Amino acid sequence: MILFGTDGIRGRYGDFPLDDSTIKKIGCSIAKSFGNTVKKVIIGHDGRESCGAILDCLTDGINFINNYDIINLELFPTPSLPLILSKNDSEDAIGIEITASHNPYLDNGIKIFNKNGYKISSELERKIEEIVATQNDVNKTSSTKFINSSPMKSVYIDFISGLLSSIKECPTNLNVAVDCANGATSRVINDITFPDNISLNIFNNSPNGLNINDKCGAVYPEHLSNIISKINKKNDMEHIDFGICFDGDGDRAILIDRSGNILDGDDLLYIFSSNSKISNKVVGTVMTNFGIRRSLKENGIDFIESDVGDKNVLEAMITHDAFWVLNHQDILSKAV
């Protein structure tokens, strides 16, 4: 039985493997695969219509044999889970994000993170699949009581706010447009503290379960590009300096410059790594264009090629102690 793809479990809600019966088995199998080392399960979602039903089925399965503390982050971005887990000194928690990332709202999925904040290994994925294949139906319906999630949310919000406050060089007034894709970043963007000289223009931050990634966000950066172009042509005094388009679960971003030009992952990899004093190593994939590779080399930056896929680039990043990582044309990750 194959459940996992390149980035967790994904499919159309209601169809295998995201039918209610299988989701409950997946929850039970997750609990069994981690054993007694886990006491808490932290769960977030990206706001799709089916997220609530999947959450209920998952927690029914997770608590089928033992009762775990379930911390429901509700609408919260995927990158929060690695951070929260990495700062959990007791190392007794795992994380789950209910999301189908950049897919339409009818799809959904499950991403699982281990106690250190990394996506689970291929070996553990196979173990979960094996348990699901032999697991009897989970008929128990649990009355899950969610633990207060505010402290966990604050870990992420305070961290991002702290990063922003540490910015040393910034124009006197910086006007930034943000497209939340009607997804996981839609609420948290208002909880983050920005320096006084940074103003936000926020778009597509009204999720209704059906409008995630709908002609907006990283899937459709042309939307924000057109807005920026129109505003900047009309008004020199209140111009937008740049824009950020997130995808549904907030783990992918595309940037747009003040002229409305869309910057892909190769562009960002070169800009960030060329201006970084932290490391002279970057990880890209077989898809990274050779012009960028040549420019990096001319600037004394080592380019390390990895196969495509989150796990492959992460492994290369750890192995080579690199700081900047590019996976596909539009995903740029920063090792913190």
Q: Which helix (H) or strand (E) holds 332?
A: strand 332-334
Cα dihedral 168, 157, 89, 249 in deg (nearest 10): -110
Q: Tell me, yes or no, if 101 is annotated catalytic.
A: yes
Residues 72, 62: contact at Cβ < 8 Å? no
Tokens describing residue 26: 């997946």
Contact 9, 110 (CB under 8 A): yes
Q: Is 225:257 a contact under the CB 8 Å cutoff?
A: no
Instruction: Give me the helices (H) in the chain, please.
Output: 20-34, 51-62, 80-86, 122-134, 150-165, 222-234, 265-274, 290-298, 310-320
Instruction: Give the DSSP letter string of 211-271.
Output: -TTSS-GGG-THHHHHHHHHHHHH-STT---EEEEE-TTSS-EEEEETT-PEE-HHHHHHH
Given 101, 186, 306, 333, which residue is catalytic? 101
> In sequence order, what are the beta bridge partners of 71?
42, 147
Cα distance between residue 8 and residue 223, in whole Å: 29
Q: Give whole-number Cα distances, 116 to 84, 120, 146, 209, 263, in Å.
A: 9, 10, 22, 30, 32
Rg (CA), the chain: 20
Distance separating alpha carbons of residues 156 and 304, to the nearest angstrom? 30
Strand order in the sheet with 242-246: 198-203, 174-179, 242-246, 253-257, 262-263
Query: If you search the block for the tokens 């924000």, which residue do you land on?
Result: 224
| Catalytic residue list | 101
